[in-house]
Every structure is written in C-alpha cells, then in structure tokens.
Structure 1
Amino acid sequence: MSDTKSYGFDTLQIHAGSQPDPTTGARQTPIYQTTSYVFRDAEHAAALFNLQEVGYIYSRLTNPTVAVLQERVATLEGGVGAVGCSSGHAAQIMSLFPLMRPGDNIITSNRLYGGTVTQFSQTIKRFGWSATFVDIDDTAAIEAAADENTKAIFCESIANPGGHVADIAAVAAVANKLQVPLIVDNTSATPYLCRPIEQGAHLVVHSTTKYLTGNGTVTGGVVVDSGNFDWTAAGKHPSMTEPEPAYHGLKFHETFGPMAFTFHSIAIGLRDLGMTMAPQSAFQTLLGIETLSLRMQRHVENAQKIATWLENDPRVDFVTYAGLPSSPYAERVAKAYPRGAGALFTFAVKGGYEACVKLVDSVEIFSHVANLGDTRSLIIHSASTTHRQLTPEQQEAAGAAPNVVRLSIGIEDPEDLIRDLDQALSAATA
C-alpha cells in the first residue's frame, strides 16, 4: 500500500503488507512453505549475508509469509518494523536480547501473566539478567528501582489476569527520564483498543496466539519497533551502537537508523536464538487479523454486559473489569482506551478456592483452557494453574488470588454466557 497513514484501521487490518502474488496473482497471501531461497548469483548472496541488501536467505531469518504479518502488525501499531517469533514468550526474550548484557536488569510491573513473572524472576537469570518488580502505577517506585545497569521498563497495557490498565504515558515519561526503552505487552488490548507507541512506548510485544489470531489454532509472537528510541543518547545499549564483530564492525544504529532494533533482532536474534515463526502460523494469524476490529467490538460489548451482571450478583465479591464505572481505572480507560477495556478480567467467588474450582468444573459453554483472546469464551482458575508457581504474595499482586477466576469473554450470544455462569455459580455456591 502506498500511504498507510491515509487509510483507516479496518482497511489496514486487511491490506497492510500484502499485494497480489506477482507470479500467480493470488489475492490471499500464500504460505511460503520453504526453508531456503535461490540466490540470483554469488554477488547477490554475499550482499544479503553482509546486510547490504534486504531479501530472503533462510526461513529461520526471513520468510515472505511472515514478512507480510510483520509489516501488517507494525502498521497497525504505528511502528517502523516488526519481528515475528514462535510465541509470545519468545517475543519477550527477543525484545530484551538486543538491550541486555550479563549483569543488566529491567524494571517490570508486578501485575503480569504468571508465566511472564516466572520468565523474568527465574529464567532470565540464566542469561545473567535480573528483574525488579514494582507497582507500575507508582512512578516514584519505578525511578527508585533504577540503577546504572537498568536497560528497559516492561508492563502490560491491560494486565493478564486482573485487567489492570496501565498509564502508559506516565510510565513512558519515566523511561525517557531514565533513557531506557519502555516495552509494552499489548496482547490483551490489541492495537484496535490501544496503540502504546502513540502514548510513548518504544517497543511493543504481542502473543499473536491470542486476539490477533483469535481462533486458538497457532502460537506466535511479534516485537514491534517504534523507531523512536535514540540508542546513542545514553550509551546504554552497546549492541545497537558499537561495532558488531559478526558483520565486520557494522554499527546497527549508524547503518539502519530508526530500524536498527528490527535489523538487529533478525540478523542476530533470530539467527542465533532461532525463535522463528512458522509460515503456517503467520498465515493463520493474518486470517485472524482481517476481522480483528469486528471481533474486538463484540468482545468488548459482551465483556461489558457480563461484568455488569457479575458485579450485581450476590454470589460474587468483586469484579476487576476496568470498563465498569466502579473501576478505579474507569477514568484512565475513557482517556487512553476509548474503544473499551478489552474482554479479560477476573471476579472473586464467595466461597473461596473450593468454590472457584467447582465453578470451573460446572461451566458448559465456557471452555476451561490456559489461553485467552479466542472467539470462544474461556475460563480458568489462575491460582491453581497459570500462576501456580508464584508465591501467595505474587499471586495477590498479579490479581490471581485463590478466590479469583479469570474470564476471557468471547463473541457468543451474551445471554447464553450469562446463563452458563449463572448455573455454574449456583453449583459452586450451593
């Protein structure tokens, strides 16, 4: 597309990054199920390997189907480039890899998906990295947690599972003061509800497995590069500014400018970590994105109705949906998330842990799965599953206390979903 800025979201979600196939005229993006690509000649091959020319070498690095997805998500998020990965967890590591060296740390929200908490509190230690968890609403705490080895700040736009809504602009102001990039996981909101780059974020990550694909068929992740972070300003990220030995002293920021992070992530991150998105996964995600705005509208409408019903039910202690007028984040949602607060939230069941377990076992339409963002409505008891590895204190901070159930509201008839929850609550609290 010639000028993506002149098109609306609904048009871009279908057309951005794609053209009819030049060989066959195929309108839908083909699945390029190939490992390698024939070079025109030896000079062409050398130019590709030297990063002097953009093209396709090997599908661990680049693939035409994945490339369309990368451009589409980057366009929807307002970024300059993107890198497709094998999963959302892979995308998180890929977002940190160009920034970090042994001894470095990140500051991260304590309201995160349980797997992310484990990845940041345990797994990244094996790289020699560390994470400090803070209340992301407390900008003073963010600043206090920083030191000379802090290389990034990380948060979720709409947190999983508790539905906390981040004040991205406020956190971005702290990141700019500290001269480190702000990385925002925008999985739960999607670019339809929130564009973190417009609010000051520097990098955006997604588990494309969730709302972007929307049908529960494939796993994937993506890192979007805003192109707006000055890697040279503070000298904190030498991988972006110092000579790279593997490419004969090439300096990524000097050579690629605003797209330095994107090129580094492909030429080094995917090359050496191999967290590659499969072309079939990219194809399935592209199909999902074509209806993203339509689905998100219905997700939000349904979530609003069901959260309101739950809030008024005497068998429920509280509901965390940020779209409710009673939410402490209602004003923030109205300002920064005008299309809605997503469709992921929790509610507390009177009767505690045992009632939650019985509730999950009693639903009929809701599916008990460890996923979110599906067209189907999903339910899980986070404390006994996705957040099981965390301490009780970490569970509370993340919004995954033992008396809480997480819902991912789908696009079914909302009255059917309410009837299902009603009968399940009756069974759980009898």
Structure 2
Amino acid sequence: MSDKQPGFDTLQIHAGARPDPATGARQVPIYQSTAFVFRDADHAAALFNLQELGYIYSRLTNPTVSALQERMATLEGGAGAVCCSSGHAAQIMALFPLMGPGLNIVTSNRLYGGTVTQFSQTIKRFGWSAKFVDTEDLAAVEAAIDDNTRAIFCESIANPGGYITDIDALAAIADRNGIPLIVDNTTATPYLCRPIEHGATLVVHSLTKYLTGNGTVTGGCIIDSGKFNWSNGKFPSFSEPEPAYHGLKFHETFGHLAFTFHSIAIGLRDLGMTMNPQAAHYTLMGIETLSLRMERHCANAVKVAKWLEQDPRVAYVTYAGLPSSPYHDRVARICPKGASALFTFSLKAGYEACVKLIDSVNLFSHVANLGDTRSLIIHSASTTHRQLTEAQQIAAGAAPDVVRLSIGLEDPEDIIADLDQALAKATA
C-alpha cells in the first residue's frame, strides 16, 4: 500500500465513500431515515452530551450527508465540513456563531446579487450589518474593519463577472485583525481553487452549481480550515461556556474542530437548515466527475470568450482567462487549472439589445442558475441583481448593458453559433 497522498481525481470519487457494511453496496446509500436507533440509554445520553459521535436525528446528522461532508472537507483541504440546504443557508450558518447584535462583517461589493441583498437587508433583522468595499483596494478593506468586525467575506471568482480575488492579500488583513476570512468558492470549486491554502478560515459553497453539476438539487456547505484561534476574545460562542451543553466550551473541548461541531450541535439544531439525504446523494455522484467537467467547462469558456472579444457588437468581455483581463495574472496563482466558465459581456447596443439577445437564444437556457452541464444565460440587471440600485449593479459587475454566461459542456462551435445568431437578431 502506497503512502502517497491520493490525487484530486481519486479523492473526488473515494473520499467519504466506503462499501455499506450491511449490504456491501458500493455507492453511498440514501439513508432516507428521520431518526436512528440508540443502542441503549447510556449511548443516547453520550450522543446528546457530544461525548460520542453518531447519528441521532437527520436534522443534525445523517450517514449520506456525512459522506458528502467528509468528501468536501477532503477536497478543500479542511478539518471538517457541514452541509446544509442551500448556498444562502451556508452563508448564514457560517456567520451565525461569529455574530451578534451590533457586530458587522466587511465584504466585497462584487458578489452574487442574492448575497448582496442577504448582507445589505436580511442580516439587519439579526442586528448584524455589512460594510461593502472594493476588495481590490486593500487599504479600504483595512480601514473598514473596526472593533465590531467579525469577518471578511469574498468570492474566490466573483459572480457574475468572473473576477478573481486576491485571497492571500485579504487573508493577511484578516490575520492582522484577528478575524476569519470567509471565501465563497462556488464558481471556482476546489478543483480550480483551494482557498484554505491561500489563508481562508472558512469556505462556503452552493453545492447546487458546479459540484452537483446537473441542475437537480440545492445544497450548501461550510468547510472549516481548523486553523483559526477561536479563543482570541472575539468569539464567545466558541470560547465561553455553552449553557445548552452544561457549560461545555467548544474550542477548549473540540480544538481544531470547534467550528464544525458548533455548526452541527447548535447551528443545525436551532436553525434547521438541513440538507436532505437524496440531495447529498445526487451531489456525491456529481462530484465524482468534477475534474473532468471543470476541464471542459474552462476549455469551452476560453473559446467562447475569445470569440466574443473579437466580435464588433460586443463592448467588452470580463473573463479572467483572457490575456486582456486585469485579473489574468492571478489565474496561475489563485486558480492554476483555469478561470472557471462564468463571465459577462457587454453589448454596445445597450439594455434593450441584452433583453432581445436573451429572448433569441436556442441552445442556451435562460435560467437563474450557473454551473450546469448546459450553457446558461441571464440578464443579471433585470433578474438576479434587480433589487439593487444601478450603482450597486455596476459595482457588482451586473450593469444594465451586461449579459452573464455560464458556459456548458456542449460542442463549443454550437455554443458560438447560437450566440452569433442571437446577437444578429438583438442588434439588427
């Protein structure tokens, strides 16, 4: 048996998956069960006291979901992971143990529109707040941090523009200020980018996108690096006695897995943002082909982006995989295997032409999703970013004259042909 660490392609198939001990089933079974039988009263008490690992109730833990959590932690290089019902649920669960009334986060202004709304509006109901800054301006990021700041948040590859974030630089700022860096790695996936290796504390995902890859289920995940000192005086949820567990201190008791255990024992218990086992099963199957799909996604995106950049009807293309992109020099350092397949382009003819383009495609699907095997298209300003002001739309990379593409796995010539005929109709 070799001591060599298995490669990514091996881990995406085998991590977290073992033959079922009862039946020998090779694929991870769907444990469609609400609850699990205790051996005896002492076993039940030990599980509820967090003195023993095991399964109690599927809102907290489930064998199918646990397999997915182990796979995600392995692929991201983390200590542990917690899966939940959606990417948005993952973001709230990541913040939940860090925050309290009057506390804030500093976040990139280049985010998915739903995240901008969640951070600018919804979290106010918890008494939390967010400061939106251009994370390219590191001095502005540093200046935005105050005594009440509890995290920095960014996307590794920003949706919708495909901008690549300098994770190392933000991690250095977070370290200096004793706060975690949370990175949404949905657009990149761990195949293209591993934020923990660049200093991220927590990584969040919408598993709905590239990781599942087929547009069938929703899911989210938080991966814990296991490297942060939660006992630095800013995070009482981890360092102070927890009344619900007879004064247990999560960081003192669980060490590098403090965040993971807290997110299950408190987060899932009380917020109930549970992933169902069938969704976990579909996601596990999707991840088995992640590297193959991402290679094709990236190769197709390069071809389509180059074609669009040369088209006289197009004002600009934001794909970081193009040498003309200001973020191109970060590809080799942050995303060495490719710049993913999500980007935008601007039409010289403006808003109305964008809308007509959307209505004229045939191969592309007009949906509010990304990371599917199919090529997807959307006009962000009138849909996913509609709730934002025009200034916010522009800052997020979703200006009124911009269309977002998620390039799929079809023949690239067919993708280009569909865009060409739709552009002809939109600009006639």
TM-score category of the 2 structures, normalised to the smaller one: over 0.9
1:391 lines up with 2:389 in the alignment: yes
Give the match for residue 377 of structure 1: 375
Distance 1:220 1:150 in 2: 28
In the alignment, the residues of structure 2 paired with residue 84 and residue 336 of structure 1 have an alpha-carbon distance, to the nearest angstrom, of 25
CA distance in 1: counterparts of 2:137 and 2:275, whole angstroms: 36
1:2 to partner: Cα distance: 11
**1:429 and 2:422 aligned:** no
Matched-pair identity in %: 79
Partner residue of 1:415 out of 390, 413, 416 = 413
Whether 1:357 and 2:355 are equivalent positions in the alignment is yes
Is residue 2:281 matched to residue 1:287?
no
Q: Distance in 1 between matches of 2:17 and 2:140?
A: 44
CA distance in 2, matches of 1:320, 1:22: 49
Alpha-carbon offset, residue 336 of structure 1: 1.9
Separation of aligned partners in 2, 1:217 and 1:68 = 19
Query: Root-mean-square deviation (CA), in Å?
Result: 1.0
Aligned amino acid, residue 116 of structure 2: V
Look up the equivalent residue of 1:113 and give its one-letter code.
Answer: Y
Which aligned pairs between 1:123-162 and structure 2 lie closer than 5 A? 123-162=122-161
Distance across 1 between alignment mates of 2:137 and 2:399: 21
1:194 aligns with 2:205: no
Q: 1:338: which partner in 2?
A: 336
Q: TM-score, normalised by structure 2?
A: 0.99
| Whole-angstrom CA distance in 1 between matches of 2:85 and 2:401 | 33
> SS of the counterpart of 1:400?
coil
What is aligned with 2:100?
101
| TM-score (norm: length of structure 1) | 0.99
Number of residue pairs aligned between Structure 1 and Structure 2 = 428
1:236 corresponding residue in structure 2: 234
Residue matched to 1:224: 223
Q: 2:162 is paired with a residue of what secondary structure?
A: coil
1:316 equivalent in structure 2: 314
Matches within 5 A, 1:48-197: 48-197=47-196
String of CA shifts for 1:228-275, please: whole Å, max 9, x gaps.
101113x10000100000000000000000000000000000000000
Q: Could you give the per-residue CA deviations for residues 338-389 of structure 1, whole angstroms, max 9, x where no partner exists? A: 1110000000012111000000000000000000000000000000000000
SS at match of 2:98: coil
Separation of aligned partners in 2, 1:136 and 1:2:
43
Once residues 290 and 335 of structure 1 are traced to their aligned partners in structure 2, the CA distance between those partners, rounded to angstroms, is: 25
**How far apart are 1:334 and its partner, in Å?**
2.0
Q: Tell me how far apart the structure 2 counterparts of residues 287 and 126 of structure 1 sit (CA, whole Å).
A: 37
> Match of 1:160, as an amino acid?
N
SS at match of 2:154: strand
The CA deviation at 1:122 is 0.2
Instruction: Give the corresponding residue for 2:21.
Output: 22
Task: Determine the structure 2 residue equivalent to 1:266.
Answer: 264
Deviation at 1:139, TM superposition (A): 1.2
User: Matches of 1:224 and 1:410 in 2, distance apart?
Assistant: 26
Offset of residue 18 of structure 1? 1.1
Find the aligned partners of 1:231 and 1:356 in 2 and give their Cα distance: 47
Moved >6 Å (runs of 4+): none
CA distance in 2, matches of 1:336, 1:123: 31
Whole-angstrom CA distance in 2 between matches of 1:334 and 1:230:
30
In structure 2, the partner of 1:278 is: 276
Alpha-carbon distance in structure 1 between the residues aligned to 2:100 and 2:260: 18
CA-CA distance at 1:337 after TM superposition: 1.2
Deviation string 1:118-151 (CA, Å, 9 cap, x unpaired) is: 0000000011100000001111111100111100
- State the 1:57 CA deviation: 0.3
Alpha-carbon displacement from aligned partner over 1:213-240 (angstroms, at most 9, x marks no partner): 000000000000000101113x100001
The SS at the match of 1:420 is helix
Aligned to 2:45: 46
Amino acid of the residue matched to residue 206 of structure 2? S
Q: Give the letter aligned to residue 170 of structure 2.
A: V
- Return the letter of the residue paired with 2:398: A
Q: Separation in 1 of the partners of 2:156 and 2:132?
A: 16
Match of 2:249 in 1: 251
Secondary structure of 1:132's partner?
strand
Q: What is the alpha-carbon distance in structure 2 between the residues aligned to residue 96 and residue 76 of structure 1?
A: 22
Partner of residue 33, structure 1: 32
Give the distance between the partners of 1:132 and 1:337, measured in 2 at CA.
27
Corresponding residue number in structure 2 for 1:305: 303
1:271-311, Cα deviation, whole Å (9 max, x unpaired): 00000000000000000000000000000000000000000
Cα shift readout 1:141-185 (whole Å, capped 9, x = no counterpart): 111001111000000000000111000000000000011000000
Q: Quote the offset at 1:323 in angstroms.
A: 0.4
The residue type equivalent to 1:267 in the other structure is A
List gaps (5 residues or longer) in structure 2: none
Take 1:202 and 1:139, find their aligned partners in 2: how far apart are those partners? Answer: 18
Task: Provide the rounded CA distance (Å) in 1 between the counterparts of 2:38 and 2:224.
Answer: 28
Read off the aligned partner of 2:59 and give its amino acid letter.
Answer: R
Cα distance between partner residues in 1 of 2:199 and 2:134: 19
SS of the counterpart of 1:112?
coil
**Secondary structure, aligned partner of 2:130:** strand
AA aligned opposite 2:15? A
Change in CA separation of 1:2 and 1:200 when aligned onto 2, cut-off 3 Å = farther
